Amino acid sequence: MVLAGLTVFESRLRGVRYLLYWTTCYILTMSALLLAIWDAWIASARIAREEAELEAESVETLARDITDPPPRNAPRVPSHQPHDSGG
């Protein structure tokens, strides 16, 4: 819009039209900026909430494992071991 206002529409933007055009450009730009800031704030709040939920779930799981450990003869989940490439 700025480029069009400075080139294509320059001869047509006089008086009130000039004021309305650039006011519209300003309003649209500020609306986009405020929407981007609001979206970032919402995303940040969502991330913080999910981190708190994950932390609470992890602490709950660790506390449960400490107070009620699995039996010694319970099968263990094998750890990841790299495969031999045979080279």
What tens digit of pLDDT does each residue of 21-41 get?
889 889 999 999 999 999 999
Full-model pTM: 0.55
Q: Give the model's pLDDT for residue 49.
A: 95
Q: Give the model's pLDDT for residue 54.
A: 93
Torsion of CA 42, 48, 54, 56, to 10 degrees: -130
State the average pLDDT over residues 2-7.
65
How many CB atoms neighbour CB 25 within 10 A? 14
Q: Give the model's pLDDT for residue 51.
A: 95
